């Protein structure tokens, strides 16, 4: 009885499979360009780890529930990772005609690169603010103090008109002859002013609690931009995201691995296309009783359809009559 084989996570097969490499084909090509594939696979694992840490730190600043942070971090990091893997697996390795000087810089590849850079840029922001967290704590303390002072000023101005009106009425009453009725009105005014001041103090207290307990995630990113090293951090993350793509694409489309892969893919496509044409003919035969109905192919290399058949030559009327006479 054959011994059952288990796929190890750290095996060559597992590492190169992360970047969409078919390991059996790689074995047939005698491990053609294996170091590049292997290095790209390890970089992709590093990207997964960095993505999780980056997203976790971002959610850690936003929430205060560790179980929610782990769950959301796992979901979003795996989502970014899956999109990234899909993008690097779909980069075109076709050999274009020699008239196309820049094979890599076509619209399809550029759109993928742009999306990869966008993912890298987003994930670089939490990394940037984590590395500058001590500097940002001091900057945020100053920002929170300034923000609280501005709120206190606006809050006081909001009730300033009402308080000034009440105090004006109180002064008017105090200039009048003293009486029990006036004393009652003055007491009501003092109580109203005290009530407004309590409202101001309560609003200031709530604002202070909210401001000083907030982490200001977006503001941290904005403040961190003033440090020159933040640009370097973002650049390094983008380089990390782009390196596996560059490694994979640097391997020629005519290398042994891609030759075998393209041959296998071609055989698979032609086989399925033959089945389709057979079923097409059978459908007309069984349903309509029409024999040998063939699927029309306007190209000479179906189903790849890169070489269109030449159009028939249209003859003039004189040639038509001459052909009739010869008959």
What pLDDT does residue 56 have? 92
Q: What is the arithmetic mean of pLDDT over 276-287?
A: 88
Do residues 133 and 230 lie in contact, with contact meaning Cβ atoms separated by under 8 Å? no
More confident of the two residues 244 and 89:
244
**Sign of the C-alpha dihedral, residues 272, 276, 279, 285?**
negative
Half-sphere exposure of 270 (CA within 13 A, CB side): 7
For 174-187, how does the pLDDT look when each residue is reduced to its tens digit (9 = 90+)?
Answer: 777 777 777 788 88
Share the mean pLDDT of the chain.
Answer: 83
d(CA 28, CA 50): 34
More confident of the two residues 168 and 130:
130
What pLDDT does residue 148 have? 93
Could you write out the three-class secondary structure of 6-61? CCCCCCHHHHHHCCCCCHHHHHHCCCCCHHHHHHHHHHHHHHHHHHHHHHHHHHHH
More confident of the two residues 25 and 233:
233
Do residues 26 and 220 lie in contact, with contact meaning Cβ atoms separated by under 8 Å? no
For 74-120, how does the pLDDT look when each residue is reduced to its tens digit (9 = 90+)?
Answer: 999 888 888 888 888 776 555 444 444 445 566 777 888 888 899 99
């Amino acid at each position: 009885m054959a011994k059952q084989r288990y796929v190890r996570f750290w095996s060559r097969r597992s590492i190169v499979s992360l970047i969409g490499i078919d390991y059996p084909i790689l074995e047939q090509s005698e491990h053609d360009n294996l170091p590049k594939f292997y290095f790209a696979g390890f970089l992709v694992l590093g990207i997964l780890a960095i993505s999780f840490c980056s997203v976790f730190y971002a959610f850690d600043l936003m929430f205060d529930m560790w179980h929610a942070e782990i769950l959301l971090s796992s979901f979003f990091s795996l989502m970014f990772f899956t999109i990234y893997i899909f993008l690097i697996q779909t980069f075109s390795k076709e050999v274009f005609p020699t008239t196309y000087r820049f094979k890599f810089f076509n619209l399809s590849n550029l759109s993928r690169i742009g999306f990869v850079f966008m993912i890298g840029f987003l994930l670089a922001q939490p990394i940037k603010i984590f590395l500058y967290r001590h500097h940002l704590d001091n900057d945020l303390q100053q920002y929170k103090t300034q923000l609280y002072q501005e709120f206190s000023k606006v809050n006081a101005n909001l009730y300033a008109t009402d308080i000034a009106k009440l105090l004006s009425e109180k002064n008017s009453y105090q200039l009048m002859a003293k009486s029990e009725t006036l004393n009652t009105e003055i007491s009501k005014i003092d109580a109203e002013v005290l009530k407004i001041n309590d409202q101001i103090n309560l609003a200031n207290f709530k604002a202070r609690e909210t401001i000083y307990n907030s982490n200001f995630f977006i503001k941290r990113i904005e403040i961190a931009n003033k440090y020159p090293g933040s640009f370097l951090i973002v650049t390094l993350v983008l380089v990390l995201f782009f390196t596996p793509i560059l490694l994979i694409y640097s391997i020629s489309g005519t290398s042994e691995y891609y030759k075998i892969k393209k041959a296998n893919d071609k055989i698979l496509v032609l086989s399925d296309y033959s089945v389709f044409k057979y079923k097409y003919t059978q459908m007309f035969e069984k349903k309509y009783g029409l024999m040998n109905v063939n699927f029309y192919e306007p190209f000479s290399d179906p189903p790849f359809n890169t070489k269109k058949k030449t159009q028939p030559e249209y003859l003039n009327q004189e040639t038509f009559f001459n052909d009739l006479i010869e008959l």
